[in-house]
Amino acid sequence: MSERRRVAIVGLGVVSCAGTGLEAFWQGLNSAPPEGERRVHDFDPLPFYDNPKEARRADRSQQMATASATMAMEDAGDLTSDPARCGVIYATGVGGLQTFEEQVIVHDRKGARRVSPFMVPMIMPNAPGAAISMRFGLQGPNETITTACAASTHAIGYATRLIQMGYADVIVSGGAESVMSPVGTAGFQNMTALSSSGRSMPFDKDRDGFMMTEGSATLILEEMESAMARGVHIYGEVLGSGSTADAHHITAPAPGGDGALRCMQLAIEDAGLSSNDIASINAHGTSTPLNDAAEAEALSKLFGDNGPPVTSTKGITGHGLGAAGAIEATAVLLTFIHKQIPPTSGFTTPDPEMAEFNLVTGSPQDWEPGPSMSNSFGFGGHNGSIVLAPIE
């Protein structure tokens, strides 16, 4: 087998309640959390479409994907690769739920003939990836990952492998989610996944569920030699990834965080590193009792009490479900630029029953960037981890 190719990250775009665009997003991660619901209240899709009609024919999740992908492609500069060697590996947890819910109401109140002929292409989980492919003329592999809250981390990992193995030269990857509709919110609320206090408190003793959010993040991955030859800014590289299944329960994590532990170990091994090489971790850290406890135990088993600094940016952003991994990978890459790790907002009281690890709290922590891990663990027992590193 020939030596696998290196994979650079050359473009980033983000739509988030913490801020849209890289500068606003970074400032948001180091500020107080948004008040109330973690919606992207100021999002306007129209600047990212040729006309209002085109925007109306896209679900809000697709609009957000198009926005972040447009930002990322502009950031990446003039890609010179053959379009047949450029693909899209995108992710979502649910798909166009808001459109589906709206059209069910239309059917109920106005009859079948009034249901939109655009409903099906608007609700398809693969709609964001398809839209990105068509918008930028990318003719390579175009696939959608739907592994719940691990989806966009899995997408980045899979996209990386396609480039490493020579099946593509450029991949647009990331994730989008917008399911804060009445039925979607009620479903999560009634399964007691959402915070009853209206606060995101990752790893805190009083954590009581996650704050759901919407948003999108897109990363442009390019074969390293090509990126260097173009002289484009390189945010970092993807060194490796891991994927495992708990095979335990549809929503609860495996006891002791065993699935998460194996996933992190696989990602580190795939990166050609040891656990001692990991310099920081962006935890899944949803603020739910079981998931935070399981991830804490996995982190403690792998890294010990005095391991690398760990943060959960969900204290600010809330939980973006299928988009979370891409949003958090973007946060990791920004820590390389700013040489700071944002604190875990919402954390005030340690949990005496939780395994110990090195959590960043209170204020940003200065650091010398090094290989970093981002974790995403989803309903269904899906686990995903990726290792990102700054360019030496």
Beta partners for residue 9, in sequence order: 221, 236
The pLDDT score that the predictor gives to residue 2 is: 65
From the candidates 17, 154, 263, 319, which is the catalytic residue?
A: 319
Q: What is the CATH number of the domain that holds 324?
A: 3.40.47.10
Place of tokens 């600047």: 47
From the candidates 17, 154, 263, 284, which is the catalytic residue?
A: 284
86 in catalytic set: no
Q: Give just the sign of the alpha carbon dihedral 150, 278, 295, 11.
A: negative
Determine, yes or no, domain membership for 37. yes
326 and 341: one domain?
yes
216 and 261: one domain?
no
265 and 229: one domain?
no
The pLDDT score that the predictor gives to residue 3 is: 86
Determine, yes or no, domain membership for 1. no
102 and 221: one domain?
yes
Determine, yes or no, domain membership for 326. yes
Under-50 pLDDT residues of the chain: 1
246 and 230: one domain?
no
| Contact partners, residue 322, CB within 8 Å, separation at least 6 | 91, 92, 93, 94, 146, 147, 148, 149, 151, 152, 175, 176, 177
191 and 249: one domain?
no
Q: Into how many domains does the chain fold?
A: 2
pLDDT per residue as tens digits for the range 224-239 = 999 999 999 999 999 9
290 and 308: one domain?
yes
Q: Is the distance from CB of 389 to CB of 373 less than 8 angstroms?
A: no
The pLDDT score that the predictor gives to residue 1 is: 45
Domain termination residue (choose one: 177, 206, 236): 236
Distance CA 230, CA 95 (A): 35
From the candidates 149, 154, 263, 382, which is the catalytic residue?
A: 149
% pLDDT > 70, the chain: 99
287 and 212: one domain?
no
Q: Which two tokens stand for residue 154?
A: 């899995």
Determine, yes or no, domain membership for 296. yes
Structural domain range at position 289: 240-389
93 and 23: one domain?
yes
Domain termination residue (choose one: 182, 206, 236): 236
Helix (H, G, I), strand (E, B) or coil at 14: strand
317 and 224: one domain?
no
Determine, yes or no, domain membership for 305. yes
Per DSSP (E only), the strands in 264-356 are: 280-282, 310-311, 340-341
pLDDT per residue as tens digits for the range 18-56 = 999 999 999 999 999 999 999 999 999 999 999 999 999
- Tell me which H or E stretch contains 55: helix 52-56
212 and 247: one domain?
no
Determine, yes or no, domain membership for 2. no
153 and 224: one domain?
yes
Q: Is the distance from CB of 342 to CB of 29 less than 8 angstroms?
A: yes
